[in-house]
């Protein structure tokens, strides 16, 4: 369970810092258009912090952690967030600086979303298995 707590805590810090980076970086560069940097803050707070707080509550109820499926979920999901947010950071920074964004950034962001999806599938498989164990047939 502590993995989920620490992950949520780290994502909360990163979410706040990314919001600060967005505000200060765009102000410093006198940029007032649309940029991916504006989305990093909410992605880190919702997918990261809130996501892991929900997983923490589910873990408390259904003892999810300590299993191979949970470990796989944890690493796939975190990798997905990291890759997706990193590409948003690169894309947004390039946009603010007025530079072109390489096609590889979009392709890599797609990989991040695939990793997130695999992580979520693993979480639902694990949760489904735990729910079946906790449901007792009616007598």
Give, for 21, the enclosing helix (H) or strand (E): helix 2-28
Average pLDDT, the chain: 95
pLDDT at residue 12 is higher than 70: yes
Q: Tokens standing for 121?
A: 């599938």
Per-residue pLDDT tens over the stretch 41-57? 999 999 999 999 999 99
Q: Which residue has the tokens 């590409």?
A: 87
The CA distance from 20 to 1, in Å, is 29
Q: pTM for the whole thing?
A: 0.93
Ordered by start, the domain boundaries in the chain are 2-131
Please check whether residue 97 is in contact with residue 29, taking contact to mean a CB–CB distance below 8 angstroms. Answer: yes
pLDDT digits (tens, 9 = 90+) for 75-119: 999 999 999 999 999 999 999 999 999 999 999 999 999 999 999
């Amino acid at each position: 369970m502590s993995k989920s707590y620490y992950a949520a805590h780290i994502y909360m810090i990163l979410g706040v810092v990314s919001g600060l980076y967005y505000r200060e970086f765009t102000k410093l560069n006198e940029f007032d258009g649309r940029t991916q940097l504006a989305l990093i803050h909410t992605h880190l707070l919702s997918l990261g912090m809130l996501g892991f707080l929900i997983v923490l509550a589910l873990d408390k109820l259904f003892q999810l952690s300590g299993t191979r499926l949970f470990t796989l979920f944890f690493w796939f999901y975190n990798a997905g967030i990291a890759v997706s947010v990193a590409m948003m950071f690169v894309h947004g920074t390039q946009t603010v600086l007025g530079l072109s964004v390489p096609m590889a950034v979009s392709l890599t962001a797609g990989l991040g979303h695939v990793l997130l999806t695999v992580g979520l599938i693993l979480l639902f498989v694990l949760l489904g298995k735990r729910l079946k164990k906790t449901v007792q047939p009616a007598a």
